[in-house]
Chains A and B, each alone.
Chain A
Amino acid sequence: MTGRRRFELSDRAIIWLFLVPCLVLLIGMVGYPFVSLIILSFYRFSILRSDAGREYIGLENYDFLLGDPELWERFIFTGQFVIISVACQFLIGIFVAYYLQKNFRGRDIIFTALMMPMMVCPIVVGFLWRYMFNSEWGVVNYLATLFGSDKIDWLGITDNALVAVVIADTWMWTPFIILLATAAFRGIPKVIYEAADIDGASAFYRFTRITLPLAAPILFIALLLRMIDSFKQYDLFFAMTGGGPGSTTQTVSFTLGKIAFSYFYTGEASALAVILLLIIIGLSLVLVRYLNLLSTKARG
């Protein structure tokens, strides 16, 4: 049988055809801003006073930023937030997805409901949790008093505020992990689980030696995406803490926003953005390398 086609696409043509639109769109959309960002980072410039022109100052922006000990603290704070938040989302997400594997009645309704936190507009999420975390009349403190604790000042104390934002961020993004993890788990053929049962694997052994390794590639992509997005988290901090108390809960993103739109030091903001970008790129490279290793192992 030679099939019936009048016009056949060679593999090469397909590669080009499939990749080029994607590439063109992205370069078109990202090219100018990205390049501008890098260029402007070497200048003293403010869009507010654009007529004042710009002054080339080399690495001065970077020196200023990297020499500021407060900025380093914010980097550490951001790192804490990213690690704790993503870890929580991951652990909870995988746990829930594990139990969503089996078919049970009403599962798809429950599943849709569980997805809802992801759907809420991020700014609204920020305000909602700010409302719930209010130390005087917030519902969270109400529940706390039910369990015998005093009212906690959530947003006024730095460590508490970190916890509060982590709770809000985890609430919002765990469904993301649940969705991808569920897809990954349900992709494992049933017959493999049956073989494992017969082979005498306990549920734990089965989960760690079979389910997780086979689901690992997708889980890693989920982890990667969440990590990148976490660094960009802005709305929650804006709405819940405003960077406070003082400026202790200012993440790098928040600081960026401040420099760009409160002080309008556009050049400096660009430099900070480049620094942040380099950090995210660095971490991503590490994860991606690990992901490639995993994929080749799983594909066999």
Chain B
Amino acid sequence: MASITIDQLRVSFGDFRAVDDIALEIEDGAFVVFLGPSGCGKTTTLRCIAGLQEADSGSIRFNGEEILGLSPSARNVAMVFQSVSLYPHLTVAGNIAFPLKARGEPREVVRRQLDWVAEILDLGAIMKKRPGGLPPGALQRVALARAIVRKPNVLLLDEPLSAVDEQFRENMRWELGHIQRELGVTTIYVTHDQREAMALADRIVLMRDGRIEQFGDADDLYFRPRTAFTGYFIGSPSMNFFAAELRDDRVLLEGTALGGSGTEGLKHALAGREGCRLGIRPQNMVLSEADGLPHLAEASEVLPFQQGTERLFSFKLGERVFLGQDRSAGGTPEIGLDLSRAFLFDAQDQRIDLAPSAQEVAS
């Protein structure tokens, strides 16, 4: 168990900065998810922590002690890889016991740990089998078992569920979370799937282009995105972005006027600014009969449709398509925006605070 402090970590491949001077504090026992699109540096950072990747500069400390320069085995970390990393010639039991035997643990200790791990991960049935014929879900459970069997300081997981069938993924996610809480081991989990992150994490580190875009818990990222990228990346379906400007004392979204009351905060924020964008999640754009929300004056190609259990609708402003929730009931619905849940981003994609009264966050 260890707290992790990352300071000014930099990794470059030639001219390409994979990890660009990032700094991070992770507390002991936390489940942290590194989230982001491909190439954002999350896996590289993870491998740096593991000791499989050399850093150009910076420091990583476990419980205050510097670990850069130590071999992976000296760091007492454990890792579950994205591709199958089990030893094909050993049985499941042999695989799990490997890290203990490699460190010369006596036989009784090995036996005891094996039994313990087999129990919490329910592996008793396959202990004597070889990785060869097992399904990906079982393989990753064995990999996880091998990782936790020696009670590591830090547990690292690199997109471990990407090869697992969809139907088993949720189950395994739950198991993972449960085990992590029981063991209390500091865990870092890398994924590009934001739903996974939202479900598992105590804290999320959203990365982009080698930098940390935002760091916080799920609510922070969902309800209080600091940048447009965060707003866009988190949440499904993804956030709508409207080009927003103030003209003739009216708010224009993609050139279409936003009518109705409650837009003062927005107008105030837009005053004197150019190139802003308004971000609002489809859940907060409602197609319904008049309900007092500020509404779009006009929109084209309004198309309700069903997605799973949800009733959604799409519409067009100019050439761009947007999504919202369909709560119409016949009659003449209009597209309303819940501005209390909207975010304004300036030309540098940073969030601008709307007037306090317009930013009520209900949890």
In-complex A–B contact (CB below 8 Å)? yes
Q: Which residues of A are at the interface with B, using a C-beta cutoff of 8 A?
A: 189, 191-192, 194-202, 205, 209-210, 213-214, 297-300
Query: How distant is B333 from chain A, measured CB to nearest CB, in Å?
Result: 43
Contact of A192 among B71, B87, B130, B132 (CB under 8 A): B87
Give the 6 A-B CB pairs with smallest separation, nearest first: A300-B130, A200-B73, A300-B132, A199-B99, A195-B85, A201-B102
Residues on A with C-beta less than 8 A from B73 are 197-201
Given A197-B51, A199-B98, A300-B132, the answer on whether A191 and B72 have CB atoms closer than 8 Å is: no
Residues on B with C-beta less than 8 A from A210 are 87
A199 close to B89 (CB less than 8 A): no
Q: Which residue of B lies closest to A297 (CB)?
A: B89
Contact size range, B: 20 to 34
Q: What are 24 residue pairs bridging A and B, where the CB atoms are less than 8 Å apart in the complex? A: A189-B85, A191-B83, A191-B84, A195-B85, A195-B86, A195-B146, A196-B87, A198-B52, A198-B77, A198-B99, A199-B73, A199-B99, A199-B102, A200-B72, A200-B102, A200-B150, A201-B73, A201-B102, A205-B102, A209-B98, A213-B89, A298-B88, A300-B88, A300-B130
Distance of A194 Cα from B98 Cα, bound (Å): 13
Residues on A with C-beta less than 8 A from B88 are 214, 298-300
Distance of A194 Cα from B51 Cα, bound (Å): 9
- Check B110 for interface membership: any CB of A closer than 8 A: no
Distance of A298 Cα from B130 Cα, bound (Å): 9
Q: Is the interface of A mostly helix, strand, loop or mixed?
A: helix
A200 close to B89 (CB less than 8 A): no
Contact of B85 among A194, A205, A297, A300 (CB under 8 A): A194
Q: Which residues of B are at the interface with A, using a C-beta cutoff of 8 A?
A: 50-52, 71-73, 77-79, 81, 83-89, 98-99, 102-103, 130-133, 146, 150
Distance of A140 Cα from B99 Cα, bound (Å): 49
Residues on B with C-beta less than 8 A from A192 are 85, 87
| Most-contacted residue by chain A among B78, B84, B98, B146 (CB, 10 A) | B98
Distance of A197 Cα from B146 Cα, bound (Å): 13
A200 close to B85 (CB less than 8 A): no
| Most-contacted residue by chain A among B72, B78, B130, B146 (CB, 10 A) | B72
Contact of B132 among A189, A200, A209, A299 (CB under 8 A): A299
Distance of A75 Cα from B19 Cα, bound (Å): 66
Distance of A199 Cα from B50 Cα, bound (Å): 11
Distance of A214 Cα from B88 Cα, bound (Å): 8
Contact of B81 among A194, A297, A299 (CB under 8 A): A194
Given A199-B146, A298-B88, A300-B88, the answer on whether A194 and B102 have CB atoms closer than 8 Å is: no
Distance of A300 Cα from B133 Cα, bound (Å): 8
